[in-house]
Structure 1
Amino acid sequence: MTGGIDVHAHWLPTDLFGLPPGAPYGPLRDRGGELHLGEVPLSIATRAMSDVPAIRADMAEAGLALRVLSAPPFAFPVAGPAPDYVDAFNDALAAVVAGSDGALAGLGLVPLDDAAAATTRLEGLAAAPGIAGVAIPPLLGGTSLDSGVLRHVLAECARLGLSVLVHPMQLPRPEWGGHYLANLIGNPVETATAVAALLLGGVLDALPGLRICFVHGGGCTPGLLGRWDHGWRTRPDVRRDSGRPPGEAVRDLWFDTVTHDPALLGLLTERAGKQAVVCGSDYPFDMAQRDPLGFATGGGLDVATLSANARAFLGRAPEPGQSRTGASGPS
């Protein structure tokens, strides 16, 4: 495969712009070709979210051979039962992927209110060609990845060989009401909370085969690993559920490159290792990395390494001569 792999990009068909029942922000609306979430302008063209030719054109411009599509986070069914919405999205995603000649892959949705329903949908995703796994939020009803339905989803994904992409929800808080702080601060904090729950909750110890990726470079995680390690070594309650310090266990995760800061990308690479970093774009949002491969290679990574890491995250066989780190294997 020539070109890069983008594991973090969004797509939603127009007939699902109404969003799941109870969605806190919805619905999506087209106003003069621009997409709005409720009354909030998203600063993107409507067709960029739903139009596959527009997605493919952006891929060509960015030098991408494969893009992995997932629902935008405001389409996650976090407010209660939404089986019809989940099934409609997964069916539409499977059809788009099937018609892409291998240029697109998908991460589906699952119900988040019922563990048994989640298992049923995950088994369906595992049987769908081109569907690599599932996208989920980092937080749900006061819990994170170490408990409740989210923990169940991780266990089932490990059992079924499905990949998991964790994407923050931009949850509102009064102190983040202005200046887009629910995104600029809230998203990185949500993600770091989920990484900490995963590492300190012993989830990786229990599910060693889990393939899980955190977007936006893991949010605050790279800058907090030292603090987490110190707490793990000095406090029994911090290390109670985990067998390794977070700074060691973090190397078994994946993180995308959407950090907006070469220094932060360098810190992520240093702390988690080159084998942990995959290319992401966050297409088509205004916070996207517009030249994802250029940003990543400018930060000292190479396309072969990023692609090998992405294939490992997606559960795909390495290309001939490539390992997860992108280094050449034995001839």
Structure 2
Amino acid sequence: MTIPTVDVHAHVLLPEIEALVSGLPGLAAARELDARRNGPDALAVSGPMVRERIPRMTDVAVRLAAMDAQGVDVQLVSPSPSHYHYWADENTAEKVYRLANEATAAHCARAPERLRGLGLVPLQHPVLLVRALGHALDQGLAGVEISSHAPGRELSDPAYEPFWSQAEEAGALIFLHPFGCTLDERLDRWYLSNTVGQPTENAVALSHLIFSGVLDRHPGLKLIAAHGGGYLPTHIGRSDHAWSARTDAGAGCAHLPSSYLRRIYFDSLVHDPRVLGSLIEAAGADRVLLGSDFPFDMGVDDPVGALRAARLSVADFDAVRGGNAAPLLRLA
């Protein structure tokens, strides 16, 4: 059987979400925080960059043409992380996730053989999570996308336990994609908010899931970490040492932290073939999935070429290119 090429990190822009939250209390403060975190130089570049790419994120025909040019057969499409809106109250948050789930499903339904979708859940309101994930699955979506934390809550928060249980039982995919870094103004120049902030947030969030025992309690959870899991997979030795040397570090999880890397899926978007090789060595070739961050400028225009540059064996190349993702997405 021919192995499809599957990109698990691609985004859809949903203007109807922004129309929904426009003018609501809390939006202005959230945008001010985002502006402080990124800095004026980054915002001056990001605005035109996103506007130029809107057709690729909203028009299915344009998306498919771009996929053809990349040699990608199937995309797993998730909403732009700018749609999280974790500042929203319960009423607004419910409207946001319902609209995001329905709009993403409708986008993917225009090319069902080539597009699979992920929805959103409001991490800021744990009481809504089970209902929100159920709604996403009811729309035919494969799971949901979440950030690395919500205001005042880490992913280790016990309030999330029903959500993890439901996701595990349903076989839902959980795509961990950070948006914003709490280092704030320390990263407001040279686009450090993204280049340093994103991999930091990935590492912190995954560490919370590992050290708190979430992955012990939910061994069947299908978690995909964007950006190759950030700094954690290539610096996991420090975590292993702390787990062995300190009672506080080892109190929450049953096994060596590095062993949990083989329970997590990672996308291949690390921008360096040597780092990709190290990720595969740490997690296993069967836990790495092709990812491009389509169509943003911090992604790669040729994800298959970037994978080829790692000089993997044929078996490992085909596994990462699509063999690992195909069963996760239940591709025929």
TM-score, with structure 2 as normaliser:
0.86
**Paired residue for 1:41?**
47
For 2:236 and 2:106, locate their aligned partners in 1 and report how far apart those are by CA, in whole Å: 40
Where do residues 122-201 of structure 1 align in structure 2 (5 Å cutoff)?
122-129=133-140, 131-171=141-181, 173-201=184-212
**Paired residue for 1:100?**
111
What amino acid does structure 1 have at the position aligned with 2:305? G
Query: Cα distance 1:42–1:182, how it changes in 2: closer, same or farther (>3 A)?
Result: farther
**Paired residue for 2:291?**
280
**Paired residue for 1:217?**
228
SS for the counterpart of 2:153 is coil
Q: What is the aligned residue count?
A: 307
1:205 aligns with 2:220: no
Query: Cα distance 1:164–1:274, how it changes in 2: closer, same or farther (>3 A)?
Result: same
1:310 aligns with 2:325: yes
Q: Please, which moves more after superposition, 87-96 or 150-159? A: 150-159
Query: Cα distance 1:233–1:19, how it changes in 2: closer, same or farther (>3 A)?
Result: farther
SS for the counterpart of 1:236 is coil
Please give the per-residue CA displacement for 1:283-322, whole angstroms capped at 9, x wherever unaligned: 11110111111111221241344322113444x27x6xxx
* Aligned Cα root-mean-square deviation (Å): 2.2
Contact 1:154 1:164 in 2 (8 A): no
For 2:7 and 2:267, locate their aligned partners in 1 and report how far apart those are by CA, in whole Å: 9
Alignment counterpart, residue 82 of structure 2, candidates 74, 79, 82: 74
Where do residues 55-66 of structure 1 align in structure 2 (5 Å cutoff)?
55-66=63-74
Q: Answer 1 or 2: which has greater helix percent.
A: 2
What amino acid does structure 2 have at the position aligned with 1:169? F
Displacement of 1:16 in angstroms is 2.7
For 1:277 and 1:150, locate their aligned partners in 2 and report how far apart those are by CA, in whole Å: 26
TM-score, with structure 1 as normaliser:
0.86
**Paired residue for 1:326?**
none
1:111 aligns with 2:122: yes
SS for the counterpart of 1:108 is strand
1:25 aligns with 2:31: yes
1:298 aligns with 2:300: no
Displacement of 1:126 in angstroms is 2.1
SS for the counterpart of 1:165 is strand
Please give the per-residue CA displacement for 1:26-85, whole angstroms capped at 9, x wherever unaligned: 9xxxxxxxxx97995251412122222121111111111110111111111311222212
What amino acid does structure 1 have at the position aligned with 2:10? A
Contact 1:199 1:250 in 2 (8 A): no
Where do residues 241-260 of structure 1 align in structure 2 (5 Å cutoff)?
241-260=252-271
Contact 1:200 1:241 in 2 (8 A): yes
For 1:25 and 1:3, locate their aligned partners in 2 and report how far apart those are by CA, in whole Å: 39
**Paired residue for 2:35?**
none
Contact 1:10 1:283 in 2 (8 A): yes
Contact 1:12 1:49 in 2 (8 A): yes
**Runs of 5+ in structure 2 lacking a partner?**
33-41
Displacement of 1:198 in angstroms is 1.0
Query: Cα distance 1:280–1:73, how it changes in 2: closer, same or farther (>3 A)?
Result: same
Contact 1:133 1:164 in 2 (8 A): yes
Contact 2:200 2:231 in 1 (8 A): yes
Q: Please, which moves more after superposition, 250-259 or 47-56? A: 47-56
**Paired residue for 2:4?**
3
For 1:98 and 1:191, locate their aligned partners in 2 and report how far apart those are by CA, in whole Å: 30
**Runs of 5+ in structure 1 lacking a partner?**
27-35, 320-331
Higher relative contact order (CA 8 A, sep 6+): 2
